[in-house]
Amino acid sequence: MAWTSTKATILPITLGFGIGAISMYGLIHFYQRSKRKMTTVLEHGTDLHWNPLDERRGLGDLIVKVNLIAIIVSDVGRSLHFYVDILGLQQIRRPNFDRHGAWLTMGNIELHLIKGIPVPPSDDNLIVGHISLETDHVELVLDKLRAMNVEFRQNISVPDPKKSRENRFEGPVGKQPTGVIQYFFTDPDGYYIEICNCDILTAFCLNKEKTKIEITYHEGIRSCRALDVVQAALRWKRKAFIKHNEDIDSIVAKIPRATELNEERYTNLCKRRFTYGDVMQGFTDEEIKEALLQTQNFVPFAIKILTKKLGSVRYFQPPSFYEHGELKVPPSFTMSGTYKKSK
């Protein structure tokens, strides 16, 4: 009897100590992680974009910043002339490696040139990998590029931060000035360099703006009201259903045709065509309108109907840009499910 009473007393105490130890371990671990994050910010300056309060996964707690970018060039001397005399980078000392190359500083990170076989991107459009350099005097860049006879392209599909806050899909860009100016040109091997005043976008990208904007377009949960949650749950249930059901035609056949078009959803689907790689690229206004009417203006079903027409093929229209003062529209192309580019 006494042992039973003692056992009943010891077990809760032991359990309490166990929970306390685990909690203490968690707190210590959290403190150490937070300390490492704060130390990174304090030791390396506040110009880094890390947020010490946000979780960094994987090796995040151990990584400080980008050290270098390395590219393969066919002629080190020719590339060195471009990056020093045209772009204005500074050459720095380089150890004696078992390969030819050169090192430069770009201000905050290094650029390493390595002799080899270059792999430049396609020259058809501006959907390319590139190195971006920031300037505080973008109005002077154009004059210098022309003075040095450097051929360039100006990107006109730059999002407006204000519109990005207010709308889910911006639609056609380039007709109205956004304040962000981007010039693209290539090095001797065809690698793209961008010079821009992209600091305008920094506050938006790092969520440091003080402006609070209410988003008005939604396809999911709009608020915490019970009715909205139930409606959203039903919508996601239907999305999951069509995901596993390929016979979309038989499903749509059971849906009564809409008598009116939802103009907001129609407009947003049309705007999506201006986003490179979006599934809506390649469809006409009438095709989008008809798909919505067939599906009672239900966007997931409408998209399913449209994409089924193309099968595994997808249509791509790269954004336009300015070259030699003229508007250039890159050729569109299609890509199959095997991701092989076709004309």
Which pLDDT belongs to residue 173?
53
The pLDDT tens digits for 170-207 are: 556 555 556 788 999 999 999 999 999 888 787 778 77
pLDDT at position 62, please? 87
Residues 173, 290, single domain; the answer is: no
The answer to whether residue 220 is domain-embedded is no
Q: Which one-letter amino acid corresponds to residue 241?
A: F
Residue 326 belongs to some domain of the structure: yes
pTM of the entire structure?
0.67
179 — alpha (psi -120 to 50), left (phi > 0) or beta? left
Shared domain check, 159 and 187: yes
**Residue 164 predicted with pLDDT over 70:** no
Q: Is residue 291 part of a domain?
A: yes
275, 230: one domain:
yes
Indicate whether 159 pLDDT > 60: yes
Mean per-residue pLDDT of the chain: 78
Q: Looking at residues 128-150, what average pLDDT do you find?
A: 92
CATH of the domain at 156: 3.10.180
Domain containing 248: what range?
A: 226-311
Percent with pLDDT over 90 in the chain = 35
Residue 229: predicted pLDDT? 46
- As a whole-number percent, the residues of the chain with pLDDT over 70 amount to 68
Q: What total of structural domains would you count in the chain?
A: 2
Q: Which of 114 and 49 is assigned the larger pLDDT?
A: 114
Residue 107's alpha-carbon distances to 88, 91, 134, 215, 322, in angstroms, are 10, 11, 10, 38, 29
The verdict on residue 78 lying in a domain is no
More confident residue, 178 or 57: 57
Residues 243 and 271 in one domain: yes
Whose tokens are 């095709």? That residue is 287
- Position 224 scores a pLDDT of 42
Q: Is the pLDDT of residue 340 over 50?
A: no
* DSSP letter for each residue of 182-241: EEEEE-TTS-EEEEE-THHHHHHHTT-----------SS--SS-HHHHHHHHHHHHHHHH
